[in-house]
Amino acid sequence: MSYDTSGMFMGGTQPPSSTQQQSHYPQLNSILRTEDGFKHSIQYSGGADRAIGIVLGVALVALAWNLINTFQALSKAHAPIGQYFWQVFFIVENTNGNVDPTLWCEVWLPIIAIPLLVILLVVRKATHGSTIMKLLDKYRQSGFLAELVTTGINVRVNNNMQGPACLIGPPNIPADWVTAAAQRMTAAVMSDPKSREAKAYLKAVSKAVTKNFGTGAVQAKLADPGLPDGIFITGQIHSTTNMPVRIAIPAGSDFTVLKLYQLKKGTPLA
């Protein structure tokens, strides 16, 4: 497969024009270009959303451990739960009478989390809408619907995230280029998986998708210099069978990195 790279420039291809953006999934593109359609179609978690999840998770774990320890202590002492529950629940000292950092966290982290969660929820409500509108403006300017083409390569990142490596071709990249690139990458690893070359190739692919695994895409040339500019590579945590499309928005002005956003379930692909 040969690539005619005329019209390319160093760093990546030019962002697709508005006409090219509409060439795939025209109905969905029309929906996404309205404020309500975009807001109800995109899965977006901002900094406040992530902070809420972390704070809530830590508080629930601390509360669970405190409840377990409280019931165990009451059970061993054969003490009436109703009479002594709160006294034991709020114990933060160890048997020597000193404050135990672990017990203190179990007792007070869930309590501290309550006002903190209220503040974060207020921040989220105040900023979520404006952030979504900023994303919509960027999508209207240079974003597009990205169809993921799986390569047959499964990548693992930090031993806890794994999924298929996928390629993305913006609307101004011929579809057969992306298909040929996916086949090339698959063959490079699967033809002789135990070979030194295949292991080195897989390592290069994993390195290219490590930073934004599941949420971003970079130029595929970073994994395979033989590929042309303009084709992007991403690692996806889940299978792309049910929802093979992402909302892609360039992360900078040079069109070398994409931020990817999933569509909500039920969003029409047409």
Q: Rg (Cα) of the chain, in Å, rounded?
A: 25
Provide the CA 38 distance to its chain's centre, in angstroms.
18
Q: Return the bridge partners of 156, or none.
A: 162
pTM of the model: 0.74
The label of the residue with tokens 């390319």 reads 8
Average confidence score pLDDT of the chain: 85
**CB atoms closer than 10 angstroms to residue 128:** 16
Is the Cβ–Cβ distance between 161 and 214 less than 8 Å? Answer: yes
> Cα–Cα distance between 173 and 180 in angstroms, integer?
12
> Cα–Cα distance between 210 and 205 in angstroms, integer?
9
Q: Is the pLDDT of residue 19 over 50?
A: no
Q: Is the pLDDT of residue 126 over 70?
A: yes
Say what the pLDDT of residue 7 is: 39
End-to-end C-alpha distance for the chain, whole angstroms: 30
Tokens of 265: 């379930």
Sign of CA dihedral 159, 232, 253, 263: negative
Half-sphere exposure of 131 (CA within 13 A, CB side): 14
- Of 68 and 95, the structure prediction assigns the larger pLDDT to 68
> Cα–Cα distance between 261 and 270 in angstroms, integer?
18
> Cα–Cα distance between 166 and 231 in angstroms, integer?
10
